[in-house]
Amino acid sequence: GNSVTQMEGPVTLSEEAFLTINCTYTATGYPSLFWYVQYPGEGLQLLLKATKADDKGSNKGFEATYRKETTSFHLEKGSVQVSDSAVYFCALSDGMAGGGADGLTFGKGTHLIIQP
């Protein structure tokens, strides 16, 4: 079956540091890949997505590239801010870009803490 593995947290960085959160996956076929973010007290928000190999998703300065050869979708940001403090979830879907009947398969989440 499908699975997603992401680095354990918490990850603590100083403001303006470079961020990488690793995510690897196991799936049959060609899944769509996602990063969701959860700010304290809120629901999961879609941060970015990629639906095929070599696609790069980007949003709010965050980027991730769909690497089929390494089955990875690592999240990066060049200069983090205190407001980026949140829990980040990597996820995949066999379905139509995240919609459709198939549920998302999530990683455990990585708690990111940015210190001023």
Partner 1 sequence: EPEVTQTPSHQVTQMGQEVILRCVPISNHLYFYWYRQILGQKVEFLVSFYNNEISEKSEIFDDQFSVERPDGSNFTLKIRSTKLEDSAMYFCASAIGEQYFGPGTRLTVT
Which residue ranges make up the site for partner 1 (CB under 8 A)?
34, 36, 41-46, 49, 89, 91, 96-109
Q: Least CB distance from residue 37 to partner 1, whole Å?
A: 11
Nearer to partner 1, 17 or 96 (CB): 96
- By the 10 Å C-beta count (0-12 exposed, 13-18 middle, 19+ buried), 76 is classed as middle
Nearer to partner 1, 56 or 115 (CB): 56
Nearer to partner 1, 36 or 73 (CB): 36
Q: Least CB distance from residue 116 to partner 1, whole Å?
A: 27
Q: Least CB distance from residue 16 to partner 1, whole Å?
A: 29
What is the Cα–Cα distance from 50 to 56, expressed in whole angstroms? 6
Nearer to partner 1, 55 or 102 (CB): 102
Q: How many CA atoms lie within 13 A of 102 on its CB side?
A: 15
DSSP letter assigned to residue 104: P
Strands 3-6, 23-26: pairing kind: antiparallel
